[in-house]
A and B are shown apart, each in its own frame.
Chain A
């Protein structure tokens, strides 16, 4: 393993997320987040690690959690609906994965619940690194130290307070939180993941990784001549192509069609904050289920669902409101 270069560390606790009730529950353990990258310039991966610190290190039930993030894949956003603490979410663009944290560095001044200037600087730095792993450092460390407690004493007192009881500390009470946050129905749930590179953090790079060209051809081939689905497909062929199964199958096996799959895959995958997925879903008249190829495929599935259950409750355009 090549050496890791540490880019940023700060104190943070984890927040558990419960999809059915949409509850965010802060976990009391002391922890820290370390953002680092490999020494190897050819590996633009950002390592995002949460691990216990201090007394929490002794708790065997508390596990270190590491995420490897590609550039542009995620964002670090404040959860503004949370009025009782400083909660952030690491939100992935191409999947419904979310990891919530609460800041454990003591805040500036006496505004315990408000996000401070130092928090903002940390957030800016994280987002910069999430876009560009090699981004130059702007000096924020000094400011962070300023607003954080300079001595061990203050830090210890602040950290040792339990989140659910003591309102004079900076720990948030999140039990009533955020019913207004609507998480897409595909939410995988747990805010904490097992260590290593979780498969859920890998974006899909090509539609054909999920549905192969031969599956597509088999499907079209299996349609009966009288099936209206076949007619729909004919109507989507370029106008000069005759409407028959032979020609349809020829098109579906053509290099140009395959190139179309690659192009669309590439556009969806590298959308990176331009909301291309949303644009695509609007163009096609399908529900929006997030960016990236996974979001697109979930949207296709949702469109099928709607078709089959047109009277079901509207789950419409579900997304996190930040």
Chain B
């Protein structure tokens, strides 16, 4: 799967919340849930759906398309009543999962651009919807505006740096639609039904479904995250007059904003300035020889890390 102009995003509730807002969606936020617990899910009501994220350490564990789903059943007919799109671009994964939720809720105002998009792809099959999504300039550019800038971008160089594991993850959306709990996974051929479910019973049912899913993987090799897609908490707290709660929410939002601001920086100017300062002190206090020593110490450190990595690699390869 190519990257085709879609950048990788950090998997963070603050990033995704600002992303949906930028797409025009109103009054929706995402929150990370730290445990798989029905009470926690109920605490962020109204809950529109959840996004289940898993990161795996070996590509051998990458989700493949089995003949039948490992849990639940394919619902080919649902494709037309639901927005479901095949995943065409790995890096668009998160955005696609989020859209799978917001475009399937009649109680969310998604804004004019996404309403248009949804109408445009209404008659398409899931393959074509996926293609159209990956070709959507608006969605792609908005998505990319949340990615980390690389300093002095050189198109001839590969986008990702070595050592990143952010290509080994997958996002899946779950939500109740038309009285059924659906699993929407762009790598699967159809939406997967997990049986009858309403907004009221969703919190309980999803916990069961996800527990079954987690149990299928060896413990140490996959990491899971759960993001709840819910209504903007500030509106609810304001409505019930919970000023303390509202204050906490505003602080949370301020922190998200700050982090998103920092994410957009490449910091090259600031890095240069602080390095000048540090080196200035080194040379003033200890002379030019100290600089050369710093360089050779740095090389020794790099050398040591490489040897360590080589040793670890050899150990893991031994029988």
User: What is A's interface to B at a CB cutoff of 8 Å?
Assistant: 42-43, 197, 199-200, 202-207, 209-211, 215-216, 219-220, 223, 229, 232-233, 236-238, 240-241, 251-252, 254, 256-257, 259-264, 266-267, 270, 274, 276, 279-280, 283-284, 286, 293-294, 297, 300-301, 303-304
Contact = CB atoms under 8 A, between A and B. Distances in A.
A115 B315 CA distance: 47
A66 to B, nearest CB: 15
B303 interface: yes
B269 interface: yes
The 9 closest A-B pairs by CB, nearest first: A260-B267, A210-B298, A256-B262, A209-B298, A236-B270, A209-B301, A266-B161, A205-B302, A202-B299
18 contacts: A199-B300, A199-B303, A202-B303, A203-B299, A204-B302, A205-B305, A210-B295, A211-B278, A216-B275, A232-B273, A238-B262, A241-B258, A254-B262, A260-B268, A260-B270, A264-B268, A280-B151, A301-B279
A259 B164 CA distance: 12
B150 A263 contact: yes
A200 B277 CA distance: 25
Given A42-B313, A264-B268, A267-B152, 17 more contacts: A199-B296, A205-B302, A205-B305, A211-B279, A211-B294, A216-B278, A219-B274, A233-B273, A238-B262, A238-B265, A260-B270, A260-B271, A263-B151, A264-B267, A270-B161, A294-B298, A304-B280
Interface residues of B, number: 49
B35 interface: no
B211 interface: no
Contacts of B289: none
Given A202-B302, A301-B283, A283 B274 contact: no
B313 A233 contact: no
A215 B281 CA distance: 11
Given A199-B299, A263-B161, A274-B156, A304 B261 contact: no
Contact of A219 (B151, B270, B278): B278
Interface string B246-269: 000000000001110111111111
Contacts of A42: 313
A220 B273 CA distance: 10
Nearest to A217: B274
Contact of B161 (A262, A280, A293): A262
B154 interface: yes
Contact of A240 (B258, B277, B306): B258
Nearest to A203: B302
A259 B150 CA distance: 10
Contacts of B258: 240-241
A204 B295 contact: yes
A232 B280 CA distance: 15
A238 B259 CA distance: 11
Contacts of B275: 207, 211, 216, 297, 300
A183 to B, nearest CB: 16
Contacts of A293: 298
Nearest to A275: B154
B267 A257 contact: yes
B213 interface: no
A215 B278 contact: yes
Given A204-B298, A229-B277, A262-B161, A256 B272 contact: no
Contacts of B280: 304
Contacts of B2: none
A304 B279 contact: yes
Contact of B295 (A237, A254, A257, A297): A297
A241 B261 contact: yes
A293 B270 CA distance: 16
Contacts of B162: 266
B148 interface: yes
Interface centre among B162, B301, B306 (most CB of A within 10 A): B301
Nearest to A239: B261
A45 to B, nearest CB: 10
Nearest to B281: A219
